[in-house]
Chain A
Amino acid sequence: MKYRRSNSRILEGDLTPMIDMTFQLIAFFMLLINFSEVDRAEEIMLPASNLAVPPAERPDYQIILNLEPNGTVKFFGQAYDQIARLTPLLRSEVNNAAREGVRNPGEIAVIIRSHEDTPTGLVQTLIMKCQEEKLENFNLRVKDREF
C-alpha cells in the first residue's frame, strides 16, 4: 500500500486584527494618561458638591495648595507642616507669576484643595496667609457628587 505524504506547512495565524486592536488600546490609554497629577495630593478627600463648575479654562497662573486635616499644606509634593511657613513659597510664586507676565497678584488663581474633615478655621487661616501676599482670587475645589 502506498501512502502519500502531504506537504507539511507552517500554520500562521493572522495577527493583523490583534495588532490593530492593541494599537487602538495604546492610543486610548495614551490620550487619557494625565501627567499633571503631580500637583494633586491623592490622599486628600475633597468635599462633594453638585453645583461647583469645572474650570472652563486654565488660568494664566495658578497655585494649587493641598490642605490636610492637621494643617499640613502640600505644594507640588513638598509638605509644609505649618501655614505660617508658607510666606517664602507664596512670595516666590508671586514673583514667578510676574516673570510669566501675571504682574497683578490678584489675577493669580489660588486653588485650595482641602480635605473634607479639615477644620474650616485652618482653611480661613490659609486664605488669610495668601491675602497677606495680595492674592485674592480663590477657588475652593470640590469633587462632583455624582461621580
Chain B
Amino acid sequence: MKIELAEPDEIKLQMTAMIDIVFQLLIFFIMTFKVVAMEGDFSVRMPLASSSADRLDEALPEQIMVRLQAGENGNLSNITVDGLETFIDTDVNAMYRALNEYVERKLAGEVNPESGGEVEVEFDIDFSLKYKYTVKGIEAVSGRILPDGSVKKLVQKIKFKDNTKRPL
C-alpha cells in the first residue's frame, strides 16, 4: 500500500495586528518625548542664625561682604566688595570677572588664623535684583573654570543678609 505524505502547510503568523500596535506605541513615545535641559544645584546650608552665645566656641570664618545693587528693571547696577572696592561696568560679565578675581586674590593672601582657615561670603542683595544676577554672583565666588576645563573651587560657604523687606 502506498502512503501519500501530505505536504505540510506553511504556518503563517498574522503580523498586521502586532505591527499596528507597535506603531501606535512608537507614535506615543515620540509624541511624549521631551528633551530636558541638564540641571545642577548650588548647595547652600543656611540654618536659622544661632544665638551669639552658641557661636562663642566656634571659630568665625573670615568674611567677604559682597553687595549686589540693582538698577533699573532689576538689572545689576554695580558690585561692592567689603565696602572697599566697587565694580561698575556696562558689561555685566566684566563685573563678575572682577568679583571672581577679588575673591581669588583674597584667598591667595593671608587668611586670619582665628577663622580656622575658612572663608565665607555674605551676600547683601537688593530685593529687586533679578535672580539670574544672584546666581552669577554665587558662581563668581564659588569658582572658576580653568582653560583645561577643570574647576578651581573658591568659597563654598555662602550666606545671605536678610533683605526680604520689599522696598517702598
| A contacts, CB < 8 Å to B | 15, 19, 22-23, 25-26, 29-30, 32-34, 37, 46-55, 106, 111, 114-121, 123-125, 127-128, 131-132, 134, 136-144, 147
| Number of chain B interface residues as a range | 35 or more
Chain A at the B interface: SS class: mixed
CA distance in complex: A120, B128 (Å): 6
A120 touches B125 (CB 8 A): yes
The reply to whether the CB of B134 lies closer than 8 angstroms to some CB of chain A is yes
B164 touches A119 (CB 8 A): no
A131 CA to B130 CA, complexed, in Å: 22
Q: Which of B1-60 contact A (CB under 8 A)?
A: 15, 18-19, 22-23, 25-26, 29-30, 32-34, 36-48
Asked whether, in the complex, the Cβ of A29 is within 8 Å of the Cβ of B29, the reply is: yes
What chain A residues lie within 8 Å of B138 (beta carbons)? 140
User: A117-B74, A118-B130, A128-B162 in contact; A37/B40 too (CB < 8 A)?
Assistant: no
Interface residues of B in 126-168 (CB under 8 A from A): 126-136, 138-139, 142-143, 145, 151, 160, 162-166
